[in-house]
Amino acid sequence: MWIKICGLSTQAAIETAVANGASHIGFVFADSKRKVTPEYAKYLARFVPKNVKKVGLFVNEKHDLIEKIVETVGLDMVQLHGQESSEFADNLSVPVIKAFGIKNGKIPNEIADFKHHIILLDAPPAQFAGGSGASFDWNKVDLTALDGYQFFVAGGLTADNVSEAIRIFKPTGVDVSSGVETGGVKDLMKIKVFIEKC
């Protein structure tokens, strides 16, 4: 199963995630307290081995700038957290993870346009897209709507509830950011324990 640790901004956090079995490392390039510059992400990318995917998170960013950052950092994938269209995603040079906020357990019909991409189920966006620590009602989701999709579950995951999320959704992967933080900073022990529970 894929395990994505998102919003990483230190060498220590990346090395901890990698050493404990993370399959994907996420860098945030959208407005957020976890935002990193492309130049700093390029430096951090040196600590990510080739078998671990480097993912860049963007919100309604211009195509050309995304492609420039993909090239600068050496990103393997892009995660889109805004209102990007399927045509926009289709025209990117690397695989795409498209995030959808789940309200009242309803999976948006728009996921059908992204069937050949990877879907990420998240809590509805608050001030920033993703990383809010909020969850959505897992038991209300119609799981049959996800048949045939590769998908991550995100939104409020922690070491205490990730096993339950995996049991309910049987996802392709799980994605965590604030759930492995203490005081808004990545907590190395929380990263380790989260991955162990997956």
In terms of residue numbers, what domain contains 117? 2-197
CATH of the domain at 35: 3.20.20.70
User: Strand pairing of 185-186 and 181-182?
Assistant: antiparallel
Q: What are 43-73's pLDDT values in tens digits?
A: 999 999 999 999 999 999 999 999 999 999 9
- Structurally, the chain folds into a number of domains equal to 1
Q: For the chain, where are the E strands, in sequence order?
A: 2-5, 24-28, 53-58, 77-80, 96-101, 118-122, 151-153, 173-176, 181-182, 185-186
Q: State pLDDT tens for residues 58-112.
A: 999 999 999 999 999 999 999 999 999 999 999 999 999 999 988 888 899 999 9
Inter-residue contact 100 to 111 (CB < 8 Å):
yes
- Residue 60: HSE in the Cβ half-sphere, 13 Å Cα cutoff: 5
Q: Say whether pLDDT at 129 is over 70.
A: no
Does the pTM surpass 0.85? The reply is yes
Token pair in block for residue 165: 């999320």
